[in-house]
């Protein structure tokens, strides 16, 4: 086995490990956390609503992804 194929296999293993078999879930999590970053940067330090609001966004994006997934299947 050559070095390049070993590296490709190693990369594929970790990509599969992190992203899993449905890339849309990974994309939904990244998207919701990016919105969370924007809110964190713009909100006042110590705002009580910030963590629950970002949590709600994570859940909402997951629900939207599931609905789109089922409609498209």
Partner 1 sequence: MGSGATWGLLAATFTASFVEFVEALTIVVAMGATRSWRSALAGSAVALAALAILTAVAGYALVSWLPRSALELVVGALLLILGLQWLRKAILRSAGLKALHDENEIYRAEVAAARAAGEEQRLGLDWFSFVVSCKGVFLEGAEVVFIVITFGVNAHDVPLAAAGATAAFAVVVAIGAIAHRPLARVPENTLKYTVGILLATFGTFWSVEGLGVFRPGSADLEWPGGDWSLLALLVVWIVVSRVLVRVLPSIADRGVAAVAAS
List residues binding partner 1 (CB under 8 A).
Answer: 17-22, 25-26, 28-30, 33, 36-37, 40-41, 45-46, 48, 50-52, 54-55, 58-59, 62-63, 66-67, 69-73
**What's the closest the beta carbon of residue 31 comes to partner 1, in angstroms?**
11
**What's the closest the beta carbon of residue 62 comes to partner 1, in angstroms?**
6
Which SS3 state, helix, strand or coil, does residue 2 take? coil
Calculate the alpha carbon distances from 53 to 12, 14, 26 in Å: 35, 31, 20
**What's the closest the beta carbon of residue 17 comes to partner 1, in angstroms?**
7
Q: Contacts from 51-60 at CB under 8 Å and sequence distance 24+?
A: 57/32, 58/29, 58/32, 58/33, 60/32
- Residue 7 vs 55, nearer CB to partner 1: 55
């Amino acid at each position: 086995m050559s070095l390049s194929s070993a590296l490709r296999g190693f990369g594929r293993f970790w990509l599969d490990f992190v992203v899993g078999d449905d890339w849309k879930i990974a994309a939904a999590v990244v998207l919701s956390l990016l919105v969370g970053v924007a809110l964190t940067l713009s909100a006042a330090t110590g705002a009580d609503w910030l963590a629950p609001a970002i949590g709600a966004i994570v859940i909402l994006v997951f629900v939207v992804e599931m609905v789109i997934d089922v409609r498209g299947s």
